[in-house]
Structure 1
Amino acid sequence: MTDITNTGFAKLEAEGRLMNPILKAPTHKAGRFGFRGDIALKFAPKLADEARPPELKIDQVMAVSQEGETTLSFFTTYLHSFEYLKDVADALGDAFTPSGKYFLYCNNIDISKKFRASYNGITFYILPIDEAGVYAEILDLLYLDKQTLKKKDTAGKLDSIADAAASFDESYPEITYEEGLGIMLPVRNKYEHRPV
């Protein structure tokens, strides 16, 4: 059975970054460990023994790592602002590899645009997000059938997504982090048009 301490999640787990897991366990694929939940990027200063919530975290995270590897082969999350790419790369830097597939759904990117942005030698797919969550968006991007996946448990769904992402290779326009900052839109309140 795959243990988290022998995967790319080991350092994140030791640092207390893996939060609110829906899944933090081996998946059905041999040697693969999966995570769905939140990841802390910046911690609040500790006062005595008081555990405080992080100053900055990302949610709707889905990621996998193979046993014996120190990196994540697949990672996706929601970013409230494109500028948080730097914080993601700083907090998880060692967990990313040039051969991995990383998808960032950004609140403030033009809904009609898709990019590839490199940061510290790692390529991230920068994608817009509308009303749906990351799970629905990644299924659409990878042409995965929601009805077929409904029959699977959380680990099985993550396996299907990670397997499909491994062969994803769209050649979206490339931008630098600085160019991305220049074309960011104001952050939208994703709840503004929803009934109370």
Structure 2
Amino acid sequence: MTSIADTAFKTLEEQGRLLNAVLKGPTEKPGRFGFRGELALIFQEQLADEKRPPERSVDQVIAVANVGESTIPFFCCYLHSFEWLTDLAQVTKGLFSPEGKYFIFCNNIDLLSKYEVEIDGVTYNVLPIDESTVYNELLELLYLDKGDLKKLTTGGKTDAVADAALGFNAKFDVISYAQGVERMGPVRNRNANRPV
């Protein structure tokens, strides 16, 4: 059986960073482990034995890792602010590779912008997100039909998304992290205009 201890998720699991998992287990593809949930970036100080939620985390994570490989080939998430990209890069340092595909859907970049940002040799595809979910945005970006995936298990859906993402080779505007910070807008309240 595919174990998290045999994949690049091992470090993040040991650090207690993989939270609120919808999927944390083998996918349908032999030797592949999937994770869907939340990744803690910065922990709150803990007093005694109380368990506090992280001070900063990325949500809606969809990622896979293969048994026997030291890096995570595919990872995507929702980032509340573009500025947090360096926190993500720090937490995943050594776990992401120059060959991997990493998609960061960001709250506070212009809705018409799509960027490639390189940090420590790893390229992040930074995309805007409006009121949709990372999963829906990714399906649209990768030209996957939601109807085709409906009958699949959570692991099967994760495989389909990961396989399509690993073949993704569109190019976006290349900017530096500093340029991204300059261009980013205020963090939008995604619930502001929603009916109650």
**TM-score scaled by structure 2?**
0.98
Unaligned ranges ≥5, structure 2: none
Aligned match of 1:152: 152
1:116 and 2:106 are equivalent in the alignment: no
Aligned match of 2:194: 194
Residue type at the aligned position of 1:152 = L
- Normalized per residue, the structure richer in strand is 2
Q: Which moved more, 1:87-96 or 1:146-155?
A: 87-96
Q: Distance in 1 between matches of 2:55 and 2:168?
A: 33
Q: Distance in 1 between matches of 2:129 and 2:51?
A: 32
Unaligned ranges ≥5, structure 1: none
- In the TM superposition, residue 195 of structure 1 has moved relative to its aligned partner by 1.4
What CA deviation, in whole Å up to 9, does each residue of 1:61-102 have, x standing for no partner? 000000001211100000111001011011111211111000
- In the TM superposition, residue 21 of structure 1 has moved relative to its aligned partner by 0.3
1:15 and 2:12 are equivalent in the alignment: no
Residue type at the aligned position of 2:168 = F
- Structure 1 runs (4+) greater than 4 angstroms displaced: none
Aligned match of 1:92: 92
What CA deviation, in whole Å up to 9, does each residue of 1:79-135 have, x standing for no partner? 111001011011111211111000000011111110100011100000000110000
SS at match of 1:162: helix
Equivalent residues, number: 196
Residue type at the aligned position of 1:191 = N
Aligned match of 2:103: 103
- In the TM superposition, residue 16 of structure 1 has moved relative to its aligned partner by 0.3
Aligned match of 1:164: 164
**TM-score scaled by structure 1?**
0.98
The alignment yields a C-alpha RMSD, in angstroms, of: 0.7
Residue type at the aligned position of 1:181 = V
Q: Distance in 2 between matches of 1:116 and 1:33?
A: 26
Residue type at the aligned position of 2:114 = K
Residue type at the aligned position of 1:80 = H
- In the TM superposition, residue 138 of structure 1 has moved relative to its aligned partner by 0.2
Percentage identity across paired residues of the two chains: 54
What CA deviation, in whole Å up to 9, does each residue of 1:131-190 have, x standing for no partner? 100000000000000000001010000000000001101111100100100100111110
Q: Distance in 2 between matches of 1:128 and 1:159?
A: 23
Q: Distance in 2 between matches of 1:42 and 1:80?
A: 14
Residue type at the aligned position of 2:49 = D
Q: Distance in 1 between matches of 2:152 and 2:36?
A: 15
Aligned match of 2:133: 133
Residue type at the aligned position of 2:27 = T
Q: Distance in 1 between matches of 2:52 and 2:180?
A: 32
SS at match of 1:155: helix
